[in-house]
Amino acid sequence: MYDFHSMVERRRTTSEKWHLIEEDMGPGSEDVIAMSVADMEFKPAPEIVDALVRAAQNDVFGYDYATDDYLASVTGWMKRRHGWQVEPQTIRLSDGVMPAVNTALRAVTRPGDKVIIQEPVYYPFRFAAERNGLTIENNELVQDAQGRYIMDFDDLEAKASDPRCTAMLLCNPHNPVGRVWSEDELRRVGDICIRHGVVVLADEIHADFAYPGHEVTMFGTLGERYAEHCFEFTAPTKTFNLAGLACSNAVIVNPGLRRRFDIAADNIAGLTVSHFGLVACQAAYDRAGAWLDELLTVLAGNLAMLRAFVQRTDGLRLVEPEGTYLAWLDCRGLGFDTDEKLRDFMRERARVYFDEGVLFGRSGSGFERVNLACPPQLLQQVLDSMGKALAGRQG
């Protein structure tokens, strides 16, 4: 049994998530609860802490490289958890998924090219494209009759067929809408991109989070021709709450793409990874699987709490997540006529600080992204507070 119930006070620490509240709302915001940035309100697995303590006491902190043991830990995890046979020499380390995504974009595009994203989506995708001088082609996700997000493949084909379109940023599973893309959906994406020479940059940082009944398909497991046509970005940082230690592992099967990635990395003076990032990643993948399994049951419980709250609250609708620890809450039925009013209501009246849906693209207007990775009693506090604020508004 691990501890997912103790509250950890992160206000006035180095936590960006909690600092944002103070920065945005100023004095008097000390009671507002953070449900925004995608990290977790849990202490790390004791197996990871032990390894870090041992490293702090015994190691020398010079320049590091990825040892065979380290690479075996990464490939072992991918094999056990995802049935994915990764060859060690295809792995490239960096201090984060986004530095690696940016590097891959530079490797396969030229300023002026077009890149496909699927909004509403993790907003740094848009920033990465724009900052690399690329034009965004938004293959907007659409909701079916049940409110489930699906891809518009006709639009994807049309956008990919433009010769100026050279890359696609795929979020698998998808932040914020929570879709765990099916094998069939991924294959269709792959077929379209291969047909039109569009390289797939698959961000799989959330791949270890799937709710019961769902299974994440790593893009590279679809078959050789798909694996050869993509970059895959993985990390232990979401899974084990290690973002502050900065560590990620990209898998690049195609030697040509790998070479271009290496050159692009050299051109920005190399990608790096911290010693503690390496130590934590290895300990996590080798020894903390049971911690993750228990976490997944806590998250399923939190999701059930949120679902029950939404069901008894007029004006709210939950987009049922299949993966990630994020939930996409449709607040359009609450009747706020602007996103600012919805945001202010949540922050000032309900005393909760979400990531506003509209940040993820125009189609996120009227939504809030809820971070479920917290002790159940904190989520309960948020729901009670929202319930009271909403009742007060109606009364």
Ligand X SMILES: Cc1ncc(COP(=O)(O)O)c(C=O)c1O
Total residues binding ligand X (CB under 6 A): 13
CA atoms within 13 A on the CB side of 21: 26
Q: Is residue 273 near ligand X by the rule CB under 6 A?
A: no
Site string for ligand X, 315-354 (x = CB under 6 A): ----------------------------------------
Q: Is residue 373 near ligand X by the rule CB under 6 A?
A: no
Q: Is residue 175 near ligand X by the rule CB under 6 A?
A: yes
Alpha carbon 83 to chain centroid distance?
Answer: 21
Q: By C-beta, is 94 or 166 nearer to ligand X? A: 94
Rule CB under 6 A: which of 184-203 touch ligand X?
A: 203
Query: Taking CB positions, which residue lies at the least distance from ligand X?
Result: 96
How far apart are the C-alpha atoms of 336 and 344, rounded to whole Å?
10
CB of 298 to ligand X, least distance (A): 19
DSSP code for 333? G
Q: Is residue 363 near ligand X by the rule CB under 6 A?
A: no
Residue 139 CB partners (closer than 8 Å, separation 6+): 116, 117, 118, 151, 152, 155, 156, 159, 168
Q: Which stretch binds ligand X (CB under 6 A): 95-103, 154-162, 191-199, 255-263?
A: 95-103
Q: Is residue 253 near ligand X by the rule CB under 6 A?
A: no
Q: Which stretch binds ligand X (CB under 6 A): 15-23, 91-99, 263-271, 285-293?
A: 91-99
Site string for ligand X, 216-235 (x = CB under 6 A): -------------------x
How far apart are the C-alpha atoms of 103 and 97, rounded to whole Å?
10
- Contact with ligand X (CB under 6 A) among 93, 170, 205, 273: 205
Residue closest to 321 by CA, chosen among 367, 253, 288: 367
Q: Indicate left, alpha or beta for 169 from its phi (over 0: left) and psi (-120 to 50: alpha).
A: beta
Q: Indicate left, alpha or beta for 199 from its phi (over 0: left) and psi (-120 to 50: alpha).
A: beta
Q: Is residue 278 near ligand X by the rule CB under 6 A?
A: no
Q: Indicate left, alpha or beta for 132 from its phi (over 0: left) and psi (-120 to 50: alpha).
A: alpha
> 3-class SS at 356?
strand
Q: By C-beta, is 220 or 236 nearer to ligand X? A: 236
Please classify residue 314 by burial: count the beta carbons closer than 10 Å to its beta carbon, then call 0-12 exposed, 13-18 middle and 19+ buried. Answer: exposed
Q: Is residue 382 near ligand X by the rule CB under 6 A?
A: no
How big is the chain, counted in residues?
395
DSSP code for 368? E
Q: By C-beta, is 96 or 321 nearer to ligand X? A: 96
Chain residues in the site for ligand X (CB under 6 A): 38, 96-98, 122, 171, 175, 203, 205, 235, 237, 243, 248
